[in-house]
Amino acid sequence: MRKTGTRLALVAALAALATLLAWATSPDPKGNPASFEEAALDPGLAPMAQALTLARFAGGDGKPVTLLVTGFDQAGVTGIALTNLGAAQTGDPLRDLASLERLPTALPAGPRVTVPIQSLLPSGPDGAVHIGTGTNFPEHAAEASSKAVFQFPKFGTATPARTTIRARPGILLDYEVELCMRFDRDIASLADFDAAVKGVFLCGDFTNRNALVAMADPDNLDSGFGFSDSKSGPGHFPTGPFIVVPRDWKAFSGQLRMTTSVNDEPRQDARGREMTLDFRQLAEHALADMDRARFQYRGAFYPLAPDRRIGSGMTLMSGTSEGTIFTPPARADYIEGVMAYLLAGGPFSATGLVDHVKQKFIANELKSGHFLKPGDRVRHGSNMLGDIVVEVIE
């Protein structure tokens, strides 16, 4: 009997030692690695042979004025008001452009106006619901262990290229850089997509990772749970200074480069051609998933888009590339979560094992301090869409 007790004690001691070693040697990633192009980002205007670059600001009467951009620097944007070229002032930059009898192919004559960057209106449309996209870049899909592209409604209005976002205490705030597309009309079919005037712009997609950990199904990211709650809200949708209308949207979007840096440290770097589904395929994907109100947001369920169409006030988002902060729980998080569960009473605990692991993981990530926090500066850059600068505030 004594030998049996001794053996059990030895087994228990070895198990405890193995657990301690597994905990002590657990990896502790502070973000996902990314690959970067050797050449530095070279921002500029798209050649007019490829695309027309627009920007918006509020005129003296408060109505939006659309500029054909002819130059810019970090202080301001110079351009010609489209009304000086004979365009209508509809309040929508793409409709303003479409009202011209002929699109300019060279810089036209006319009075120039210069507008400070911080005075520009958002390049995103004015709607409060947009179509977000997940795991549309292969490397990011691998980070998320996702095998398919999925979409979800993103709630909130666009903010301008110089803006802020609040880092709430206890929240794991993450960044994403994306390419976005808007339209001069509602898109109810691929024929509408083909006929529409399309504007491409740079955008960001900030994420509350607590909500994603708590609600999303890691085995089925397209479940309709977690993404709308984690990616919606004030400041979560910053947009660049320019709306660029390509003459060939597919060729143009393929060569676009988008980057992220945090406090000047590079984090993301990708090209539009890396997208698994291009914008036309994303529109097709979205239009095929508008019958059911299956996406949860703040306790209620919504369809992907109202009226079974991508409205002219909505954005179609590309998804992001590799290099976000969030990584799945590490071995130490699982071990500490199991220990917390057992100490709380195991099966008799008021909280289940999975929730204990999630709580321990979030607590450890907050303690490490590597998610966005007040004082951080996030910059999303591009080669032909301008840049976005977001100050993280308390």
Domains and CATH numbers, the chain: 51-119 (no CATH), 129-328+369-393 (3.90.850.10)
What's the pLDDT at 81? 96
How far, in Å, CA of 115 to CA of 121, rounded? 11
What's the pLDDT at 197? 98
In our burial notation (b when 16+ CB lie closer than 10 A, e otherwise), range 271-291 reads bbeebbbbbbebbebbbebbe
How far, in Å, CA of 80 to CA of 114, rounded? 9
Would you say 196 and 185 are in contact if contact means Cβ atoms under 8 Å apart? Answer: yes
What residues in the chain have per-residue pLDDT under 70?
1-27
What's the pLDDT at 27? 65
What's the pLDDT at 137? 96
Distances (CA, A) of 270 to 89, 101, 320: 35, 36, 9
How far, in Å, CA of 120 to CA of 37, rounded? 30
What's the pLDDT at 15? 47
Question: How large is the angle between the packed helices 2-24 and 331-343, nearest 10 degrees?
Answer: 130
Q: What is the pTM of this model?
A: 0.94
What's the pLDDT at 20? 52
Q: Where are the alpha helices (DSSP H) in 110-246?
A: 138-143, 190-195, 209-215, 227-231
The C-alpha angle with vertex 141 and arms to 136 and 146, in degrees rounded to 5, equals: 110
First-to-final CA distance of the chain: 63
Question: Tokens representing 10?
Answer: 């030895």
